[in-house]
Chain A
Amino acid sequence: MIEEVIEKLAILLQGRIPSRIDIERFDNEIEHELGEMLNQFIDFMQEIQEIIVPLSQGELQDIKLQSKNFLASPFKELHSRLLHLTWQATQVANGDYKQRVDFMGDFSEAFNSMIISLDHNEKLLKKKIDELEKALSHITKLEGILPICSNCKRIRLEGAAPENQDSWIQIESYISKRTEAQFSHGICPECMKKLYPELMK
């Protein structure tokens, strides 16, 4: 009996799962009890080994451990925390930055800092986009080919008849109507000389 128990424990210590002991053949009560306890230990270790692989691979949904398997308690807790983190990460991915991880040491700190940074950066980005959109709304572009009188510089309205004088408007009016630019009038020195030569003397 003892040799068999030692052999099973040696296998367990090597990280492998031995077969259970056949306890029916033991008449001695103590041997029977020892065999039963060893079998339970083997079952618990087997259960842990069966769940730790999927757990390490992130397969969280179908893991269920026997409630009496106290050896697996830390794994049960880890499983629960990973499920919760999965839920929280999903919420964060959906833009919910109110989530916080509590009492998970360095991980809490890192996760919470990440959420705060994401929140801060998104707010900053939204502010920038808002500013750019506002700036954009003030810009009106003039595109295309404008027909212009080569002498008086009037511009012909789009689609208007060229032979009709009303079709041609001052360049200032044209631009003012289509953009937010305004004009202030003055006279350049060359025109001044032409128009008011007496003032230039």
Chain B
Amino acid sequence: MFKEERNYNKFTWRDLGDIERGRPNLGLTVPVLAYRLLQYTLRDVLITESGVDKANDIFIKAGRLAGVQFCENLLNRELGFNEFIAQLQQVLKEQVIGILRIEKADMENMRFTLVVAEDLDCSGLPFTDEVVCQYDEGFIAGIFEAYTGKPFSVREIDCWASGERVCRFVAREVKVDK
């Protein structure tokens, strides 16, 4: 899995292992700082090795991969949109990832404004006048793609690091010319 050269992704949910069996005493969750240590150090190295754009691109792609697997394994994709969102909100809360809130949903044009409060990636970050949740952008896009079967683009428009107190994303379906 991690030692072979390849030019395609092969991550699946099974690669996460049997966490319950592996951590009978410590349990399923870790502190947010452990998650952020991994993400921020990895990101720091990626920036120095590959540049900011490439590092962001990698984070978006990784997030997308995670979002698709998350949706396929933890969510019921047969539900109608509103019920799916209610379920997503519930699962994100149970998994202590963040508090999802939909602010606007334009079903006709498949364009959504959603907010993640207490976001795992950035809540509490100091003001740096930038949005930093590229992994979340990919993650949300992956979830919407796995649910709708259509390509999605997600852009973060507000972030703790840009001075907001929530992360705000605009998700929209990417129309593909036939």
Instruction: Give the residue among B82, B89, B99 with the most A Cβ atoms within 10 A.
Output: B82
- In the complex, are the beta carbons of A99 and B82 less than 8 A apart? yes
Given contacts A70-B163, A77-B165, contact A98 B83 (CB under 8 A): yes
Binds A, one of B45-53, B54-62, B102-110: B102-110
By the criterion of a CB under 8 Å from any partner CB, how many residues of chain A are at the interface?
23
- Give complex CA distance A70, B164 in Å: 8
- In the complex, are the beta carbons of A103 and B82 less than 8 A apart? no
Chain A 9-49 per-residue mask, 1 if CB under 8 angstroms from chain B, else 0 = 00000000000000000000000000000000000000000
- Give complex CA distance A87, B115 in Å: 12
- Give complex CA distance A73, B162 in Å: 12
Q: For A91, list chain B residues within 8 Å (CB).
A: 82
- In the complex, are the beta carbons of A87 and B163 less than 8 A apart? no
Q: For B127, list chain A residues within 8 Å (CB).
A: 68, 70
Tell me if A123 counts as interface (CB < 8 A to partner B): no
Tell me if A76 counts as interface (CB < 8 A to partner B): yes
Given contacts A67-B163, A77-B166, contact A98 B86 (CB under 8 A): yes
Instruction: Give the residue among B113, B115, B165 with the most A Cβ atoms within 10 A.
Output: B165
Beyond A80-B103, A100-B90, A103-B99, 13 additional contacts (C-beta under 8 Å) are: A70-B127, A70-B163, A76-B166, A77-B165, A80-B117, A81-B101, A83-B101, A84-B102, A87-B102, A87-B104, A98-B83, A99-B86, A102-B99
